[in-house]
């Protein structure tokens, strides 16, 4: 298929201001540097799972076009920079791929003609997608969702029978080289266990938690899917993986080295985002600079050996599921 123009820029400034005022939960920016970081993060996730998605058989089956059936649809909820949206559209040219976010990403001038973007708040639900979607992808969206169990019910309602729900979450807890939770120590304790990077990630978690309960959702997604019942989901899966932050392990393959370096680059970019956020929240500039510089040294010089924990959840809607209660 050919390419088509998509809206350029984020959105009209008035619309952005209205959405930002309405949606107070999400604290990270929606500017070009952050979208570049999200591109890097999606590249990282693609390398971790060796592709754009897990539950590969289920995704390919539901996206396979069928005679007499309307065109398959994939939604990328909280699409961020639009990386996954565009790449998925390239990989599946017969599928309509829609990225949805508070802000329309400033993607390259031309994208596949089967790809488009919509701008609205996911906390308003998915009423115009009832029983019409084959795949729903939601990567690192928990913080922006006010009620995640309700959100999962909305996803179930949107999916066609046999449709697949995919979620990805990055754990805010850092882990040591033995994959044990890294305990936060005070900066002036003088303990070898102190880490500026852990300090920064803890501050980010506190800031997110102060905005609402969303950041507490991601460890519970698998259980909540189970609680929805086997009459709704016929396949529920969870894959946990630990990615080194930087190539500090011995005998790493080239793939592992590259993946761990992408993980480190992603964290270094998060440090820079946090620098302005911490200063805006009242942390003195001198303290902010000391923290971010210390965290950067830890990762660049491999002074601290630690892992980032990622959780990948998926579920397949029961093929003979009853019609939506909204119909």
- The CA distance from 239 to 54, in Å, is 9
Q: What is the pLDDT of residues 23-81, one digit of tens each?
A: 555 566 667 788 889 999 999 999 999 999 999 999 999 999 998 889 999 999 999 99
- The rounded distance, in Å, linking the Cα atoms of 305 and 307 is 7
pLDDT of residue 185: 76
Please give the angle made by the CA atoms of 104, 109 and 112, to the nearest 5 degrees: 85
- So what's the pLDDT on residue 272? 87
Pairwise CA distance, residues 48 & 43, whole Å: 9
The pLDDT tens digits of the residues spanning 236-284 come to 999 999 999 999 999 999 999 999 999 999 999 999 888 877 777 788 8
Confidence (pLDDT) at 206: 85
pLDDT tens, 290-324? 999 999 999 999 999 999 999 999 999 998 765 54
16, pLDDT greater than 50 = no
- Distance, in Å, from the CA atom of 245 to the CA atom of 188, rounded to the nearest integer, reads 24
- pLDDT on residue 187: 74
The pLDDT of residue 104: 86
Judge whether 214 and 148 are in contact, CB under 8 Å.
yes
Q: What distance in Å separates the CA atoms of residue 216 and residue 238, rounded to the nearest whole number?
A: 17
- Whole-angstrom CA distances from 315 to 45, 228, 320 are 19, 11, 15
The pLDDT value recorded for residue 26 is: 58
- Going by their DSSP bridges, the two strands 133-139 and 115-119 should be labelled as unpaired
């Amino acid at each position: 298929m050919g390419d088509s123009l998509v809206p350029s820029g984020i959105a009209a400034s008035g619309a952005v201001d209205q959405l930002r005022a309405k949606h107070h939960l999400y604290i990270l920016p929606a500017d070009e540097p952050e979208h570049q970081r999200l591109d890097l993060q999606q590249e990282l996730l693609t390398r971790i799972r060796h592709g754009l998605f897990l539950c590969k058989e289920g995704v390919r089956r539901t996206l396979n076009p069928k005679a007499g059936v309307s065109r398959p649809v994939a939604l990328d909820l909280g699409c961020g920079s639009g990386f996954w949206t565009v790449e998925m559209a390239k990989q599946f040219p017969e599928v309509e791929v829609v990225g949805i976010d508070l802000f329309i990403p400033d993607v390259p001038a031309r994208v596949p003609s089967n790809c488009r973007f919509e701008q609205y708040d996911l906390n308003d639900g998915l009423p115009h997608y009832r029983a019409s979607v084959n795949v729903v992808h939601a990567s690192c969206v928990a913080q922006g969702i006010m009620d995640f169990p309700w959100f999962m019910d909305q996803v179930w309602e949107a999916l066609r029978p046999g449709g697949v729900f995919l979620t990805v979450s990055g754990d805010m807890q850092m882990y040591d080289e033995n994959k044990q939770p890294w305990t936060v120590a005070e900066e002036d304790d003088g303990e070898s266990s102190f880490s500026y990077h852990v300090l920064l990630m803890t501050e980010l978690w506190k800031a997110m938690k102060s905005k609402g309960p969303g950041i507490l959702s991601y460890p519970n997604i698998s259980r909540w899917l189970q609680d929805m019942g086997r009459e709704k989901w016929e396949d529920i899966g969870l894959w946990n993986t630990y990615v080194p932050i930087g190539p500090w392990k011995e005998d790493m393959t080239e793939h592992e080295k590259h993946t761990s370096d992408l993980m480190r680059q992603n964290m270094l970019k998060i440090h820079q985002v946090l620098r302005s956020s911490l200063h805006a929240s009242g942390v003195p500039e001198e303290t902010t600079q000391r923290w971010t510089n210390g965290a950067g040294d830890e990762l660049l010089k491999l002074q601290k050996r630690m892992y980032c924990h990622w959780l990948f959840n998926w579920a397949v809607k029961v093929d003979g599921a009853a019609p939506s209660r909204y119909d």
